[in-house]
Structure 1
Amino acid sequence: MNPLNPRIPLGEWADDFITWFQSAFSWLLDFVSLVLQGMYTGLFAVLSGPLFIVMLFVFAALAWLAVGVRRGWKLALFTFIGFYIIRALDQWDNAMSTLALVLVAVVIALVIALPLGVWAAKSRAVSRIVRPILDFMQSMPALAYLVPAIVIFSVGQVPGAIATIIFALPPGVRFTELAIRQVDGEVVEAAQAFGASPSHILFRVQLPLALQTIMAGINQVIMLALSMVVLAGMAGAEGLGGAVIESIGSLDVGLGIEAGLAVVILAIFLDRVTAALGSKGPGARAGR
């Protein structure tokens, strides 16, 4: 390599690695694809199968229960009207497809992020290793995750889900670690003095007190997942993202506005519900 004209073939190395990975772990990739596609298909069938009016009441009831019986009527009313507008805009199936993909990605991201965050809170060595990786993941442009996902899994819902999981995962890890570390040390010491085991302290003391901060992290995971799912329309994912990409390709302003408004309604619903659930934790009550 000429030092005056440097060239590192990083792209070629990445191509070679992906080719090797696809060949060596084809069985694993097929399994992941089967699981993700099955989860999405099943959840989409549950959300889109019943009459839309039934789902309107279901979503409104969830919102009401999340906030509370006394104060939840406002969010329930907004949810009912908002999802009715989505149906009136003829974006119901697209919205349910997007919601299904978001829920699948969020569940898997949290299954990875929450234990990793707890581990990082318990071990400073793990925290030092994880932190720069999370910094790198959050610094990477969102669209950059789609390219290797499409190469490995082709087009469709699966690459969109994979890219969404990777993109949305960092806040879950960070907020969980922060939440566990913020638990009052005296409370933990008191539990230890009474002979509580480490697992008992984690599940009965630290996690309940850290719930509000953890829910804030879950809220961020959901919001990032929703934003990424819209971009995943470029990977062939259906739903509102696909409608937005279609509107760009055909210069259909009306379709873009309709799909965009549906995304906003979904985002407000998910944000308010998760925020309300987080405010009910022991940590939130202790701070009042």
Structure 2
Amino acid sequence: MGFPAAWGRPIGAEVDAFVDWLTTNMDWLFDGFSDAVLQLLVWIEDFLLWVPWPAAVLAVFLLSWRASGLALAGFAAAALLAVGLMGRLPDNPDTLWEASMETLALIIVSVLISLVAGIPIGVLGAQSRWVDSLSRPLLDGAQTMPSFVYLVPALLFFGLGTVPAVMATVIYAVPPVIRLTNLGIRQVSPETVEAARSFGATRMQLLVKVQIPMATPTIMAGVNQTTMLALSMVVIASLVGAGGLGEVVLRALGRQEPGNALIGGLAIIILAIITDRITQALGKAREEALAG
């Protein structure tokens, strides 16, 4: 026996009506935010494309050396150089290097927005049981949904292009930094907190000068996971108009060109490995500094 149809509610139609109301009455907000994100993305992308490739390789080498040492620096520089050596894209005036810079710009903007939104929410969750109780089921739901689902709200509110790709990436990638910021603040030793309070630290001083610095290694782990999730959305984001390496892979798959799909995928993997190793090394360096 089937479920009585009369008991059901047209939830889909109600959601559609609500979305229509938002897009009609709040278009000024979405358009303004979209313009700001697009401008930031253009600035970063133009800068990355302007930087000469030897300077980019040298910058990665120096950052990796500062974070972990010569072994990581040599590996990161060689891996980035390998992206450039993969050559020019077929039927496209751009090289794989330029496509990689476009992808890197999208990842930088997505991670920046994720951190600006996620770290304060994580701090509030650690300070307020109400915020933690409210955010926890939302984060659980966000981390169990298929990644394609995040394209729906991005498309509805921002249309096609790089901005919805950024927003879908943010929604998908932000939960780890919220969770681990919350966890890092909560893991600060109660004795340390009490000692700071006994010396007259205000709530803000306690947070800024004690809790956040001591939680930095855990927060950096959240930054690492957020960055990796953002990179994992590169190909999916290309479905709504994002360029870069995701477009390279998607176009190659559509044309049944496994070789071109392979080099696009390898470039994504190389960027992921470089960012993973550098962010892990920075977090470990901070942890060792606190231990020392």
TM-score between the two structures when normalised by the length of structure 1: 0.94
Give the whole-Å Cα distance in 1 for the aligned partners of 2:62 and 2:235.
26
- Of residues 251-260 and 48-57 in structure 1, the stretch that sits farther from structure 2 once superposed is 48-57
For residues 250-265 of structure 1, what are the structure 2 equivalents within 5 Å?
250-265=255-270
Q: 1:256 offset after TM fit, Å? A: 0.7
Rounded Cα–Cα distance in structure 1 between residues aligned with 2:218 and 2:74: 27
Tell me the SS of whatever aligns to 1:279: helix
Name which of 172, 181, 188 aligns with 1:176: 181
Contact between 1:161 and 1:229, CA under 8 Å: does it hold in 2?
A: no
Aligned to 2:70: 73
For the pair 1:245 / 2:250, whether they are aligned, the reply is yes
Choose which of 258, 282, 285 in structure 2 pairs with 1:280: 285
Distance 2:14 2:260 in 1: 41
Gaps of 5+ in 2: 88-95
Give the aligned CA root-mean-square deviation in angstroms.
1.5
1:139 Cα deviation from its structure 2 partner: 1.3
Distance in structure 2 (CA, Å) of the matches to 1:286 and 1:30: 44
Map of 1:89 onto structure 2: 86
What one-letter code is carried by the residue in structure 2 that aligns with 1:111? V
* SS of aligned partner of 1:55: helix
Q: What is the match of residue 194 of structure 1?
A: 199
Identity across the alignment (%) = 40
CA shift for structure 1 position 7: 4.8
Deviation, structure 1 residue 286: 4.6
Paired residue type of 2:108: L
Letter in 2 for 1:155: L
Match of 2:238 in 1: 233
DSSP-derived class of the 1:280 partner: helix
Instruction: Please show how residues 11-30 of structure 1 align to structure 2 within 5 Å.
Output: 11-30=12-31
Relative to structure 2, which stretch is displaced further, 204-213 or 8-17? 8-17
The question of 1:63 aligning with 2:64 is answered yes
Please give the TM-score of this superposition, normalised by the length of structure 2. 0.92
Q: CA deviation at 1:287?
A: 4.6
Q: Distance in 2 between matches of 1:46 and 1:241?
A: 20
Rounded Cα–Cα distance in structure 2 between residues aligned with 1:22 and 1:256:
36
Letter aligned with residue 84 of structure 1: L
Match of 1:155 in 2: 160
Measured after TM superposition, the shift of residue 252 of structure 1 is 0.9
Mean Cα deviation higher: 143-152 or 26-35? 143-152
Deviation at 1:154, TM superposition (A): 1.7
Give distance in 2, aligned partners of 1:149 and 1:208: 34
Q: Which residue of 1 aligns with 2:41?
A: 40
**1:175, 1:284 → 2: CA distance?**
18
1:4 partner letter:
P
Structure 2 equivalent of residue 4 of structure 1: 4
Distance (Å, rounded) in 1 between the aligned partners of 2:142 and 2:105: 24
In the alignment, structure 1 segments of 5+ residues that lack a partner are none
Distance between the aligned counterparts of 1:191 and 1:101, measured in 2?
40
1:108 pairs, out of 108, 113, 116, with 113
Report the equivalent of 1:50. Answer: 51
